[in-house]
């Protein structure tokens, strides 16, 4: 098969820890928690009133002048993703149409984008003003909607909510004319999108690929779904920062939130030719399925996750005991943490004693389609700095979750790292990255 190697040369992240990858990384190292009471709407009555939300920003300041008008067509999912893409480009040192159109260092047709997106729910207050015109005796009246309600919605309403509009805007801003895909596999969407971006480069359809994911989950419909599925933590509304406790004996659910993460991937020779700083190499990817009629959870033995991890290790050509760091799904959902623990034990066995496991959702919340991208960015930066941060809120392991989880930031020799995840809906995924070495 191809010998084209794929390296990470830039990372950008927008999260509840800040608007940049640097703030994200610094926050993680400090064990800072971005979870707070929901600001986007008044969550009174929600079983879980908490979320990891991104602080205020002005989207106009994050796009080139030529794209300012198009910001009207951006849902929050699009905005966060566009900001993360800009941050990643800056971090990579690439020059694109957005930064300097005359001196771009990427060739548009040899640049790809593969991005994970969620099921974007429309803004409730926006549509409510139209629904108001379609009510008879307190009930929705579809005939009135067809006549009056519909007409009052902005004409391009649908385009704010199509998942492929995340990479579409990014593609226009940075001039990406190669393959563009949008993966919609829930909470492994960005793991899978990154895997496909790697393939686009190895099969020689691109030299550079933007890879990541973004989702703004802090919408009442989306947050209510997580409550109904009993995935969101309850009983912690008064202690937001301690609410999400992956693998901890006092865990009782996850906290959901918003983020976007982008990695710049390059073919090794392309990266070298422009003297790029190489942060890590991607050496193995895989996905599989849980075969479980309870789509909301992993199988109890995490079988589908085991398969994905084994296949990714196999593709990377590494033994389980060569892995130094795992950034797991670690959601804080009791049954799923236990199943993930079972999967990790099945694959890594006694090697787990020396592998650091670093769940980050206690700090940044569960960000859905963005989760894989920001997990992988944490792993990439851990390799760059040979350092990991604390797993906030972890004190003692839940039964079945006896993992080597750090409670304080520490220096750590990391040659190989693994990220893994599973979706609400059944898909599982794993990615193996490696500290870059010239002669690997």
Partner 1 sequence: MDHRVVITGMGVVCPLGHDVPTMWDGLMTGKSGVATTTLFDASTFPTQFDAEVKDYDISSFVKNPDLHQHSNRGSLFVLGACVQACKQAGIDIETDTPADNIDRTRLGIYLGAGEGSADNNAFFSSIISGWNAGKQTMDWSKWTQKALETMDTMRELEQEPNMPAGHLALLTGARGITRSCLTACAASTQAIGEAAMIVRHGKADVMIAGGAHSMIHPLGLTGFNRLTALSTRNDSPTTASRPFSATRDGFVLGEGGAVVILETLESAKKRNAPILAELIGFGSSNDAFRVTDMHEEARGAASAMRTALKDANVTTGDIDYISTHGTSTIENDSIETLAIKTVFGDRAKSVPVSSPKSQFGHLIGATGCTELITCIKAIEENTLPMTMNLNDPDPQLDLDYIPNEPRKTEVNIVMSESFGFGGQNNVLIIRRFETE
Q: List the interface residues with partner 1, window 88-147 (CB under 8 A).
A: 108-109, 113, 117, 119, 122, 124-125, 127-129, 131-132, 135, 138-140, 142-147
Interactions with partner 1, residue window 15-34 (CB under 8 A)? none
237 lies in the binding site for partner 1 (CB under 8 A): no
| Binding of residue 3 to partner 1 (CB under 8 A) | no
| Cα–Cα distance for residue pair 290/300, rounded to 1 Å | 10
Closest distance of CB 192 from partner 1, Å = 5
Question: What residues have CB less than 8 Å from 336, skipping those under 6 apart?
Answer: 297, 298, 329, 422
220 near partner 1, rule: CB under 8 A: yes
Q: Is residue 335 close enough to count as binding partner 1 by CB under 8 A?
A: no
Query: Can you tell me which of 4, 229, 387, 412 binds partner 1, judged by CB under 8 A?
Result: 229
DSSP bridge pairs for 286: 430
For partner 1, which is the closer residue by CB, 366 or 435? 366
**Cβ at position 344, least distance to partner 1 in Å:** 18
What x/- string results for residues 401 through 430 when contact with partner 1 is judged by CB under 8 A? ----------------------xxxxx---
Identity of the residue, 108 or 406, whose beta carbon is nearer to partner 1 in the bound complex: 108
Nearer to partner 1, 143 or 272 (CB): 143
Distance between alpha carbon 103 and the CA centroid of its chain, in Å? 31
Sequence-distant (6+) residues with CB within 8 A of 57 are 19, 79, 83
Looking at residues 260 to 319 of the shown chain, list those that interact with partner 1 (rule: CB under 8 A): 286-293, 295-296, 304, 307, 311
Could you tell me how many residues of this chain bind partner 1 (CB under 8 A)? 94
Q: Is 199 in the site for partner 1 (CB under 8 A)?
A: yes
Sequence-separated (6 or more) residues with CB below 8 Å from residue 137 = none
Residue 178 binds partner 1 (CB under 8 A): yes
In the complex with partner 1, the residue whose CB is nearer, 258 or 324, is 258
Q: Given the complex with partner 1, which of 181 and 415 has the nearer CB atom? A: 181
Stretch that binds partner 1, among 4-12, 154-162, 394-402, 410-418 (CB under 8 A): 154-162
Contact, 57 vs 262, CB < 8 A?
Answer: no
Question: Cα(40)–Cα(42) distance, rounded to whole angstroms?
Answer: 7
Q: Which of residues 59-78 bind partner 1 (CB under 8 A)?
A: 70, 73
Among 59, 95, 104, 153, binds partner 1 (CB under 8 A): 153
Member of 55, 100, 228, 269 binding partner 1 (CB under 8 A): 228
Does 44 bind partner 1 (CB under 8 A)? Our answer is: yes
Complex with partner 1: residue 18 or 167, whichever CB lies closer = 167
Q: Which is nearer to partner 1, 33 or 198 (CB)?
A: 198
Show the beta-strand stretches assigned E in 169-279.
Answer: 180-183, 208-216, 258-267
For 139, list phi and psi in degrees, rounded to 5. -115, 155
332 binds partner 1 (CB under 8 A): no
The 3-class SS string of 324-348 reads: CEEECCCCCCHHHHHHHHHHHHHHH
The answer to whether 35 and 16 have CB atoms below 8 angstroms apart is yes
Are the beta carbons of 247 and 394 closer than 8 angstroms?
yes
To 5 degrees, how large is the angle CA 378–CA 222–CA 233? 65
Helix (H, G, I), strand (E, B) or coil at 421: strand
Question: What is the rounded end-to-end Cα distance, in angstroms, of the chain?
Answer: 16
Q: Tell which residue, 386, 343, 391, has the closest CA to residue 364.
A: 391
Residue closer to partner 1, measured from CB, 296 or 351? 296
- Rank residues 57 and 295 by Cβ distance to partner 1 and give the closer one: 295
Give yes or no for residue 46 binding partner 1 (CB under 8 A).
yes
Out of 4, 90, 225, 274, the only residue in the binding site for partner 1 (CB under 8 A) is 225
Give the Cα separation of 197 and 349 in Å (integer): 31
Cβ atoms of residues 424 and 186 within 8 Å: yes
Give the residue with the Cβ less far from partner 1, 52 or 118.
Answer: 118
Count of positions (residues) in the chain: 440
Hey, CA dihedral for 327, 427, 34, 381, is it positive or negative? positive
Distance CA 217, CA 366 (A): 9
Q: How far is the CB of 292 from partner 1 (least distance, A)?
A: 8
Q: Which of 12, 27, 34, 171 binds partner 1 (CB under 8 A)?
A: 171
Which CB atom, from 19 or from 85, has the smaller least distance to partner 1? 85
């Amino acid at each position: 098969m191809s010998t084209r190697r794929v390296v990470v040369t830039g990372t950008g992240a927008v999260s509840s820890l800040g608007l940049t990858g640097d703030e994200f990384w610094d926050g993680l190292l400090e064990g800072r928690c971005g979870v707070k009471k929901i600001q986007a709407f008044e969550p009174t009555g929600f079983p879980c009133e908490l979320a990891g939300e991104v602080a205020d920003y002005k989207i106009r300041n994050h796009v080139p002048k030529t794209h300012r008008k198009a910001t009207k067509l951006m849902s929050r999912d699009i905005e966060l993703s566009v900001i993360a893409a800009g941050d990643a480009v800056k971090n990579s040192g690439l020059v694109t149409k957005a930064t300097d159109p005359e001196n771009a260092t990427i060739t548009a047709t040899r640049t790809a984008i593969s991005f994970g997106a969620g099921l974007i729910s429309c803004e409730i207050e926006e549509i409510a003003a139209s629904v108001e015109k379609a009510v008879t005796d307190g009930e929705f009246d579809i005939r009135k909607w067809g006549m009056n309600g519909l007409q009052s919605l902005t004409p391009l309403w649908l385009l704010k909510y199509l998942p492929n509009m995340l990479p579409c805007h990014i593609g226009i801003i940075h001039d990406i004319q190669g393959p563009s895909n949008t993966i919609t596999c829930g909470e492994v969407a960005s793991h899978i999108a990154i895997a496909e971006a790697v393939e686009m480069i190895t099969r020689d359809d691109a030299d550079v690929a933007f890879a990541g994911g973004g989702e703004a989950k802090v919408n009442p419909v989306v947050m209510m779904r997580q409550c109904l599925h009993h995935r969101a933590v309850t009983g912690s509304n008064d202690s937001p920062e301690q609410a999400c406790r992956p693998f901890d004996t006092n865990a009782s659910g996850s906290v959901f939130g918003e983020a976007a993460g982008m990695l710049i991937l390059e073919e090794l020779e392309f990266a070298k030719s422009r003297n790029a700083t190489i942060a890590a190499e991607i050496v193995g990817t895989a996905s599989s399925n849980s075969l479980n009629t309870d789509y909301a959870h992993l199988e109890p033995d995490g079988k589908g996750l085991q398969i994905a991890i084994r296949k990714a290790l196999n593709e990377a050509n590494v033994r389980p005991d060569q892995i130094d760091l795992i950034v797991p799904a670690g959601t804080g959902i009791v049954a799923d943490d236990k199943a993930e623990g079972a999967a990790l034990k099945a694959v890594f066995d006694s090697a787990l004693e020396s592998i650091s496991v670093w769940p980050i959702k206690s700090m940044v919340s569960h960000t859905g389609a963005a989760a894989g991208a920001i997990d992988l960015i944490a792993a990439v930066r851990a390799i760059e700095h040979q350092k990991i941060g604390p797993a906030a809120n972890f004190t003692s392991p839940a039964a079945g979750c006896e993992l080597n989880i750090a409670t304080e930031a520490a220096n750590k020799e990391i040659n190989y790292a693994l990220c893994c995840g599973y979706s609400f809906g059944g898909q599982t995924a794993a990615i193996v990255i490696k500290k870059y070495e010239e002669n690997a």
